[in-house]
Chain A
Amino acid sequence: MSATVAAPRRPSALRMMLRDTGAAVSLVFVVLIVLAAIFAPFLAPKDPYETDLMAIMQPPSAEYWFGTDGQGRDLFARTLYGLQVTLFMGLASLIVGGVIGAVVGFLAAYYRRLDGLLMRLMDILLSFPAILFGLALAAIFGPGLTSVIFALSIATIPLMARIVRGAAVVVMGLDYIEAARAIGMKDARLILRHLAPNCLSPIFVFATLRLGQVILLGSALSFLGLGAQPPVAELGAMASQGRNFLFIAPHISVIPSVAIFLVVLAFNVLGDALRDALDPRLRI
């Protein structure tokens, strides 16, 4: 007969995070904007590309919640579709760059012979700011959403590789990895089943914070005309089009800019809270 003593359950990371009001609000907000982006076709009261020259530059009203732009397109509909494009751009770059970076990081941590070479390569990539990748790829392949996604992916690779390598090197020193090796487990299986799952928290924190940065950078590139091309409803491109009407109808630029700001803010607050919850040492 054995008596088990119930250890006091550590509160889950999610619960700890939600104690922070800002984080709870951000989480709800992020869920809402993701839903809004997915269901944009059903939520949008009008076609985001339908121009109405009788109703250009209308201020926000009961009929046009966010007003209309210089070609009479409904800004509420365009903002919903813009969220879709902007979030897609952010997620696509995060996933492409993040996956490649994670693979590099795990390989560097697991095969020590590769470590020096791989991390030097990452250092080289890291020595360029994302905006330069954006400019260079737009120059080579022409401006467009694809160029932006590629540029942001490349800029994400070395950051993710460093985070993953840092976490994986610590886990590699633990006994159970040694044990798994001793019973003759294959490398691939060991990395996927035993190494990766224990490196997830820093990856998660980084991904959340990075998503905000990537969206900010991507919309800046679109604002410059190097990203999504008109008439595509992308928030940065929309803000850029509104520049021409800044003094007559400032809402055309302000509304998409505020949308970007709120989305990025939500991811940043969420990322910070996630880091605090997952890594108690950082709480001061």
Chain B
Amino acid sequence: MARYALRRVLLAVPVLLGVLLIGFFLMQVVPTDPAVIRAGPQATQEVVDAIREELGLNRPLWAQFGFYLWRLLQGDLGVSIINNMAVTQELSDTIGPTLELMFASLFWSIPLGIGLGTLAAYWRGSMIDRCIMAVSVGGVSVPVFFLGLLLIWLVGFQWQLLPFTGRGGPLWTWDGIQAVILPAVTLGGVFVGPVARMTRTAVVDMLTADHVRTARAKGLSEFLVVLRHALRNALIPVITLIGLQIGFLLGGAVVTETIFSWPGVGRLAVGAILSSDFPMAQGTIIVLSAGFILINLGVDLLYAVLDPRVRLS
């Protein structure tokens, strides 16, 4: 296990370096001078030159990359062009809400997807199966923004049931819960379909497996056979596949945050790109990529824990 984990972690390192390299080049190709940005609009030429020296901008490119990595390690990603705030400060303010939104979305969509997928697998070929699969194909085909706009228009505006702009506070407060419902329904809504499909395939495989036949033969109730013997074993591939779909969720999160003015990293990223705030854009892209790499790493390790065949192969 330790060897597998080590190998997997080592594989993530070049990818992470690649991300940083791309982030670094982003700042090279854009038409702004980081020293000028850092110095602020009223700075004299001497100040700019001093900053240029301090940032190592007069050195060759490879040395600059070294400087860049060093500053990054110290949590320095530069300052925003727009409001002069430290990029790392803004990032640390927005990561929490993004994780909160993702958690709230997965909290209801994964159990629902697994439940629907199991039902469809058990009654495969029946009307129930066809209905569930039709809904799930519909779910993977619907644009996230469409779902979000419909909810805002109907639930938020017409029926006035729930707030639809911004975050209401921490999730353990009533306001916080109210505010997260519509964004979480939107983001989770596009996730139910894929989870249901993956679960159905995995459970169908399991239902024809030998150990399930044995469980039936020894007279267990159908409910227990499905729950304890088919679904439980099917969960391993399902969890992995869900992990691999996190990228899909991330894309949805960027859109959902923008529609609902949710103060997360995705909305920050889009705003930074649209306003040509390059240091901020670079910071958000690095954080989103690194987060995604870490999630993938976590899923792989979890998979190895759950399924011994992975780490032995």
Contacts and interface: CB of A to CB of B under 8 A. Distances in A.
A35 interface: no
B270 A268 contact: no
A118 to B, nearest CB: 15
A261 B141 CA distance: 6
B148 to A, nearest CB: 10
A220 B250 CA distance: 12
B247 A223 contact: no
Contacts of A124: 14-15, 18
Contact of B274 (A220, A225, A253): A225
A208 B94 CA distance: 37
A212 interface: yes
Contacts of A253: 149
Contacts of B254: 131, 135, 224
A136 B141 contact: no
Given A140-B26, A140-B29, A143-B273, A128 B247 contact: yes
Nearest to B14: A124
A132 B141 contact: no
A220 B143 contact: yes
Given A128-B247, A268-B140, A136 B149 contact: no
Interface in A89-137: 124, 127-132, 135-136
Interface stretch (A48-56, A172-180, A184-192, A242-250): A242-250
B251 A217 contact: yes
A127 B292 contact: yes
Contacts of A139: 26, 30, 272-273, 278, 281-282, 285
Interface in B74-132: 124-125
A246 B29 contact: no
B12 to A, nearest CB: 8
Contact of A143 (B30, B134, B274): B274
Interface in B1-36: 14-15, 18, 22, 25-26, 29-30
Nearest to A235: B143
Interface residues of A, number: 42
Contacts of B70: none
A236 B292 CA distance: 25
A220 B281 CA distance: 18
Interface residues of B, number: 50
A252 to B, nearest CB: 10
Contact of B141 (A131, A236, A239, A265): A265
Given A128-B247, A140-B29, A246-B152, A224 B270 contact: yes
Nearest to B245: A129
Contacts of B15: 124, 127
Contacts of A212: 141
Contacts of A225: 270, 274
A216 B204 CA distance: 29
A132 B15 CA distance: 14
A284 B273 contact: no
A226 interface: yes
A76 B152 CA distance: 24
A223 B247 CA distance: 18
A223 B282 contact: no
A127 B296 contact: yes
A128 B292 contact: yes
A182 B259 CA distance: 61
B303 interface: no
A268 B137 contact: yes
A146 interface: no
Contacts of A254: 146, 149-150
A131 B292 CA distance: 11
Contacts of B259: 243
Nearest to A213: B140
Given A135-B285, A225-B270, A261 B142 contact: yes
Interface string A206-250: 000000100011011001111000000000100110010011001
B204 A284 contact: yes
A272 B137 CA distance: 9
Contact of B255 (A132, A138, A223): A223
Given A260-B143, A268-B140, A128 B289 contact: yes
B202 to A, nearest CB: 12
* Smallest CB-CB A-B distances: 6 pairs: A129-B247, A131-B251, A257-B146, A265-B141, A264-B141, A139-B281
Given A127-B296, A140-B29, 13 more contacts: A129-B251, A131-B250, A136-B285, A139-B26, A220-B255, A225-B270, A225-B274, A240-B145, A243-B259, A250-B153, A258-B146, A261-B142, A264-B142
22 contacts: A127-B292, A128-B289, A129-B292, A131-B251, A135-B281, A136-B26, A143-B273, A143-B274, A220-B144, A223-B143, A224-B270, A225-B270, A225-B274, A226-B274, A236-B143, A250-B149, A260-B143, A261-B143, A264-B141, A265-B138, A265-B141, A284-B125
